[in-house]
Amino acid sequence: MTLNVLSLFAGIGGLELGLERAGMTTVGQVEINPFCQQVLAQHWPGVPRHDDVRTAVQWWQSEPRPAVDVVCGGFPCQDISNAGGRAGITGARSGLWREMAETVCAVRPSFVLVENVAVLASRGLDVVLGDLAQLGFDAEWGVVSACSVGAPHMRKRLFILAHPPGFGREWRWGDRPNPQDVEPQGRGPEHGGPWSVEPRPVGVAYGVPSRVDRLHALGNAVVPQVAELIGRQLMQHSLAGAA
């Protein structure tokens, strides 16, 4: 069994990579940044791709597409983050959440996975949950740090999983997941050594000279091991529900 994933605000594909490690299949990506598009094309050459979330619905519906089980995405955090202007979820950048919600409404997946900075909990989580509820979803949410899956840095991020009412059991959110839920890539602190360099998609700048673009893309990327942790739970619960 697999779940088909449509990724919005795909960046360099951190969410997709983690979800694929959990057993899912990427069937579409939306990303506006030219450098990130090059990275996605290198690692997902056969996956259809679009460059603007504001027209994602028209693009996806323009020809026959596979059914989408999961819509995932980390919508822009610039208006939410402490480092930004704090305009909130209605700001020019973070307000693109509405476009993600419209895509979910049109595609009608079974699940939605949303990623953003931890401070979203007090600067727009109510809006996101309200929109998801209007679309017929219940939701679980929590903060997961990269260091909880072996990374040598904190990188706290809020994840929201929207699902059909009554789906699954209680989820393990927070900073102390079971390390056995994730297949380590390299050796993390819990294995007695530093992380090795991630070959995909972190090592992505082959043939691309712009270090600034690379660092910007990496800074915005989702840690794949965290996405894998969530994806494995989702796959496990989906299989249990289908049994």
Nearest C-alpha neighbor of 157 from the set 142, 178, 170: 142
Does residue 72 carry a catalytic annotation? no
What's the CATH number where 33 sits?
3.40.50.150
Does residue 22 register a pLDDT over 90? yes
pLDDT in tens, 170-225: 555 554 444 444 333 333 333 333 444 444 444 444 454 555 555 455 556 788 99
φ, ψ for residue 179 (rounded to 5)? -60, -25
Task: Name the catalytic one among 36, 77, 105, 147.
Answer: 77
pLDDT in tens, 87-97: 789 898 899 99
Per-residue tokens: 19: 């979800």
Q: Measured between alpha carbons, how far is residue 64 from residues 46, 51, 69, 209 in Å?
A: 16, 19, 16, 37
Residue 179's pLDDT is what? 40
- Assess contact for 19 and 84: CB atoms under 8 A: no
Nearest C-alpha neighbor of 227 from the set 5, 15, 11: 15
φ, ψ for residue 70 (rounded to 5)? -135, 125
Across the chain, the runs of DSSP E, i.e. the strands, are 4-8, 25-30, 49-50, 70-73, 111-117, 138-145, 156-163
Measured CA to CA, the distance from residue 97 to residue 75 in angstroms comes to 6
Domain ranges, residue 176: 4-242
The count of structural domains within the chain is 1
